[in-house]
Amino acid sequence: MGIVFPNGDVDAARTDTGAEVDLLEHIVGNPIISPSPVQDRNIFKKIKRIDGPALGGGTDARAFHYTKGKLEADLVGLVPWRGSYPTFKSHSCAAKLHVNIAIANYCTKSNKDDDRADIWIGALTPLFDDPVVVVQSPPGFWPTLAVVRDLDNNPLPPACGDGFEIAASPSAHDIDEYLPIKGFWPAKRSPR
């Protein structure tokens, strides 16, 4: 299993009206600050945090890879992790940030089996280009976390009215860089 956070290249952060915005004009920190897996070997025996260049400079966790695991098909598995969330800049009119994350559940090492993986990303990428395994129901679906502005302690400027919402997603480049796991589809590059 792999998870990619939008902590680096972000395919255009957009408001709820579709307008493109510079995410760093609205938040302090990364969309998920210092995400860290929680050691839990109930499903996966090996957990790897992958760091890389972060959105605002420096480095931060970009992805987690969970391997050597097993989950029965009729059971629910919880994969815990923790992180901190950004604050909204006082001059921003953003009232909520939707943090879209990319998730891959690799089921088999087969490169042809239709059940080889379930990939949850909002759009196909150059590597994750097979609509049979990329879950897009409804189209543009992302697993999402919502960061809500604390309006009591950080109110919107009066000119903002009710404000707007922003969505940030990992870029196609970052998904193709950080989501593949060695030995699983797609094996078109050397995954981490």
* CA pair distance 45, 142, nearest whole angstrom: 27
Q: Does residue 85 lie in a domain region?
A: yes
Please provide the size of the chain in residues.
192
Domain count, the chain: 1
Higher pLDDT, 37 or 40: 37
Q: Does residue 189 lie in a domain region?
A: no
User: Would the pLDDT of 137 be above 70?
Assistant: no
Q: Does residue 190 lie in a domain region?
A: no
Q: Does residue 192 lie in a domain region?
A: no
Q: What is the pTM of this model?
A: 0.88
Q: What's the domain range around 161?
A: 2-178
Q: Does residue 67 lie in a domain region?
A: yes
Tally the C-alpha atoms within 13 A of residue 183's C-alpha that lie toward its C-beta: 8
Closest listed residue to residue 55, CA positions, set 101, 20, 98, 7: 7
Q: Does residue 183 lie in a domain region?
A: no
**Rounded percentage of the chain residues whose pLDDT exceeds 90:** 50
* CA pair distance 83, 63, nearest whole angstrom: 12
User: Would the pLDDT of 4 be above 70?
Assistant: yes
Q: Does residue 86 lie in a domain region?
A: yes
Say if residue 186 is preceded by a cis peptide, omega within 30 of 0: yes
- pLDDT score for 186: 84
pLDDT band with cut points at 50, 70 and 90 for residue 15: confident
Mean pLDDT of 34-54: 87
| Ordered DSSP codes for 3-71 | EE-SSSSEEEEEETTS-EE-GGGTEES-SSEEEEEPP-TTTEEEEEEEEEE-TTSSEEEEEEEEEEE--
Q: Does residue 9 lie in a domain region?
A: yes
**Positive or negative: CA dihedral 146, 149, 151, 157:** negative
